[in-house]
Structure 1
Amino acid sequence: MRTAATARTVLAPVALAVVVLALWQAWVVAFEIKPFLVPSPAGIAEAFTTSFSSILDASLATGLNALIGLALGAVAGMALALFANALRFLDRMLVPLVAALAVVPIVALAPVFYAMFGAAAETGRQLVAAVAVFVPMYLNTLNGLRQVEPVHRDLMRAYAATAEQANRVLLIPGAVPYVLNGLKIGSSLAVISALIAEYFGGPTKGLGIAITSSAAGSNYTGAWAYVLGAVLLGALFYGVTAGIEAWSARRRGGS
């Protein structure tokens, strides 16, 4: 039963993707759509294959920035959530800050960080990704820490457990599903943020720069090939974090 359900979960989106691509290809061919408007999937696949090494290099540059940003944002979000859960006054102080970070556009952050850390460094892009990841990590971790049943808290107090022991034994294990969900959400945001930050200057490598350069040179099919690389990079980040979440859920269910 589980194998059949997994097969349906995998096959359904694959079948939908095949149908969409087939209709896309037929539409472009039937109406003779020019590549500068919408290139065909076959043309994009050919450009992707031809430029695979360049796309891989650009994906590695963007992926590294996204990974560093994901790590920074995740650690900062979890750490501040632990402090906010222990110190309610800190939680009230952080509410407006987190709300502000949640609505700050990437297009405003990237130039500011480039001015602070230099346009030749990757630091600005990594920090943009970290800010994007911080908000879901903080909110999910804090929500998870507050899901503990009151009776369990009372039991820890009855055993005279210290705050460190309560966190290690009770709060943190209970918050793990929420943390992993925040990490899964943050993984996609990290890739998107690192990619968009590349549009506003910085080192001349990465998928964002490659997309804009190809489009500026009227190589629209090549630009879409780099877009495909960005899609695959985002899917990789999401797939890895979703796999970790599923593995953790199975482990908790079997324990």
Structure 2
Amino acid sequence: MSTGSLERIPGAETRLPAPLSAWLTGFVRGAGTVYPAVLVGIAGLAVWEFGVRISGVKSFILPAPSAIAQTLTGTFPRIVSATGTTLQAVLLGLALGVVSGVLAALLVSLAKRLSAPLMTTAVVLSCAPIIALAPIFNAWFGVTNVMSKASVAAVMVFFPVFVNSTRGLLLMRPIHRELMESLSASPRQTMAMVRIPEALPSFFDGLRVGATVSVIGVLVAEYFGGPANALGVLISNEAALSHFEVTWAGVVMASTLGLFLYGAVVLLERACVPWKRRAS
């Protein structure tokens, strides 16, 4: 069929391939959920900017967003370098917390007798104050050692990952259990084919929380000392010197780092758990 005949078919020129159409539909739906948050953020920044200008608040108390943005632009290489140092500890702590949390959840699902001691340990770790843990890990590993910061993050990540993964592994639907029993599936096969896929949504729920708290844990640990080129140390030192525009620029970069990790986990979840998105 020639191109001219295609052009004469009503609606032929407006049709899109199915994958592209599905992608556009998903993009529009996702944008619909993002727009309100973006608008609220812009409105909040506008109120902050004009409120500071009208009220005449001193910059050392609360600098305007425009001043923070200007400072961030001027010190961008320095802050990015400090963020990279902090990011190494965050990623290491996140990895340690996720691995230990998942292993503990697997142990609970395979040997329910271990559920009580492991859950007790998890509760104790979750109740431990970061301010108390940071000096201890600094003494163990050294102030400038990345493990002293990553360990704090790992403790904070462990609890949400462990609890959510355990919940997902133990919540097995009766119909799936009956099916695997009728097929004479071994516990290992049941774990690989049913329990782990069913637990993935719950695991990612915990991972989203862990991604954000890992940044908080490392920054708090860096307040008690760390490499000179670290984001938490930079924020602490600049605040002590009353350079509050630089301090706020560091806070903005730390918030951006947390949002970046959270978004990365969301994208990873969409790739690993596509059936959850289709179900919603």
Q: Which TM-score applies when normalising by structure 2?
A: 0.87
| Residue of structure 2 equivalent to 1:137 | 161
1:240 aligns with 2:264: yes
Q: How far apart, in 2, do the equivalents of 1:174 and 1:244 lie?
A: 16
What is the aligned partner in structure 2 of residue 90 from structure 1?
A: 114
Counterpart of 2:105 in structure 1 is: 81
Tell whether 2:42 aligns with 1:18. Answer: yes
2:205 matched to 1:190?
A: no
**How far apart are 1:2 and its partner, in Å?**
4.6
Q: Tell me, in whole angstroms, the C-alpha distance in 1 between the residues paired with 2:72 and 2:275.
A: 39
State the 1:7 CA deviation: 2.4
Q: Which has the higher contact order (CA 8 A, sep 6+)?
A: 1
1:48 paired residue number: 72
Deviation at 1:215, TM superposition (A): 0.8
Shift of 1:197: 0.8
Where does structure 2 lack aligned partners over 5 or more consecutive residues? 1-24
Aligned to 1:36: 60
The 8 Å contact of residues 160 and 206 in structure 2, kept in 1 or not, is answered as: yes
Structure 1: which 5+ runs fail to align?
Answer: none
2:4 match: none
Partner of 1:65: 89
Q: Find the counterpart in structure 1 of residue 152 from structure 2.
A: 128
Percent identity, please: 36
Q: Alpha-carbon deviation of 1:134? A: 0.4
State the partner residue of 1:102.
Answer: 126
Q: CA deviation at 1:253?
A: 5.6
1:218 maps onto 2:275 in alignment: no
In the alignment, the residues of structure 2 paired with residue 191 and residue 21 of structure 1 have an alpha-carbon distance, to the nearest angstrom, of: 23
What amino acid maps onto 2:177 in structure 1? R
Cα deviations by residue, 1:13-69 (Å, 9 ceiling, x for unpaired): 111111111111111111111111000000000000000001101111111111111
Give how far 1:219 is off: 0.5
Task: Verify the 8 A CA contact 2:226 2:233 in the aligned structure 1.
Answer: no
* Deviation (angstroms), 1:246: 3.0
Q: How far 1:159 moved relative to its partner?
A: 2.4
TM-score (norm 1): 0.95
- 2: CA distance, partners of 1:253 / 1:235: 21
Partner residue of 2:253 out of 215, 224, 229:
229
Shift of the alpha carbon at 1:9?
A: 1.3
Following the alignment from structure 2 to structure 1, what is the Cα–Cα distance between the partners of residues 27 and 79?
35
Check the 8 A contact 1:181/1:245 in 2, yes or no: no
1:166 aligns with 2:190: yes
Cα distance in 2 for residues equivalent to 1:169 and 1:6: 30
Length, aligned pairs only:
255
Q: Structure 1: how far apart are the matches of 2:29 and 2:124?
A: 41
| CA offsets 1:128-155 (integer angstroms, 9 cap, x no match) | 1011000000000000011211232233
What CA deviation, in whole Å up to 9, does each residue of 1:207-237 have, x standing for no partner?
1111111111111111001111101101101
Give the distance between the partners of 1:229 and 1:2, measured in 2 at CA. Answer: 29
Task: Give the SS at the match of 2:108.
Answer: helix
- 1:77: Cα distance to partner? 0.4
What is the rounded CA distance, in whole Å, between the counterparts of 2:113 and 2:30 in structure 1? 45
Q: Retained in 1: the 8 A contact 2:270–2:277?
A: no
Q: 1:155 to 1:6 in 2, by over 3 A?
A: closer
> CA RMSD, aligned part only?
1.6
